Amino acid sequence: MRIIVIFASHNFQTIIKLFIRMKKALLLFALVAISVVSINAQDNLKWGVMAGMNVSKYTITGFDSRIGFHAGVKAEVGLSQDANGSGAYMDFAALLTLKGAKVDGGSLASITFNPYYLEVPVRVGYKYAVNDDFSLFGSVGPYIAVGLFGKAKAKVDGDYFDFDEIGGNSASEDIFGDDGLKRFDLGLGLKAGVEFSKKYQVAISYDFGLVEVIKEVGMKNRNLMISLGYMF
């Protein structure tokens, strides 16, 4: 069998289109939130950016965790906060995120799944201002995600193989589709973190996928996220 390294390459124009989609999705959710909670958006809506590391896996036996990333834009809408900044809020984001998992067979064989999603989490939480420069926060809520692109990379005896040659998908085919992963994912997320100077955020969150990404297998996404954020 001939050796082929499987890489996903995307040009600058594609990346720009992805971030435009993120901005539109986040704006839609922010507008919905504003209309529901009847607040003054000028005073209570804050925009920001965030990025960080993923540690993702699937729920079935045999898959190991893998390291990925997430990056995108976010917003916070204050619901009932006092003068110090303590109170309830809604948290939104539109993220490009790399999840997946791997099967590690040591020196004999390994397979890595590299699915990229556009993910939109929507959470309700509470922020407690310890003082003017330091706050604690926690939130919970659902997320929706749409698979954008991705590859699966197989390594046998130290070499990379084209999936066509071992009876699977072509190296050039999307990992999502009828014979691959479902594009749509839905789940529940928990988040906790700290905020400095009402601008800088450090957070940890965990997402529980509720949708089987492969039919009749029971395989669902799990993802630990460590994030850094900046609010404008």
Q: Which residue has the tokens 């729920």?
A: 59
Q: Residue 24: helix, strand or coil by DSSP? A: helix
Rounded CA separation 110/116 (Å):
20
Q: What is the pLDDT of residue 159?
A: 57
Contact indicator for 18, 70 with CB cutoff of 8 Å: no
Structure confidence by residue, pLDDT tens digits, 133-161: 999 999 999 999 999 999 888 777 655 55
Q: Residue 102: helix, strand or coil by DSSP? A: strand
Rounded CA separation 204/223 (Å):
11
Contact indicator for 221, 213 with CB cutoff of 8 Å: yes
Q: Where are the domains of the chain?
A: 12-231
Q: What is the pLDDT of residue 207?
A: 98
SS3 of the chain: helix, strand, coil, percent, to 5: 15, 60, 30
- Does pTM surpass 0.85? no
Q: What is the pLDDT of residue 12?
A: 41
The class (CATH top level) of 12-231 is: mainly beta
List average pLDDT for each run of 10 residues in the chain, which is 232 residues long.
33 47 56 50 82 96 93 94 88 96 78 93 96 96 95 71 48 70 95 97 98 87 98 94
Rounded CA separation 88/228 (Å):
21
Q: What is the pLDDT of residue 27?
A: 59
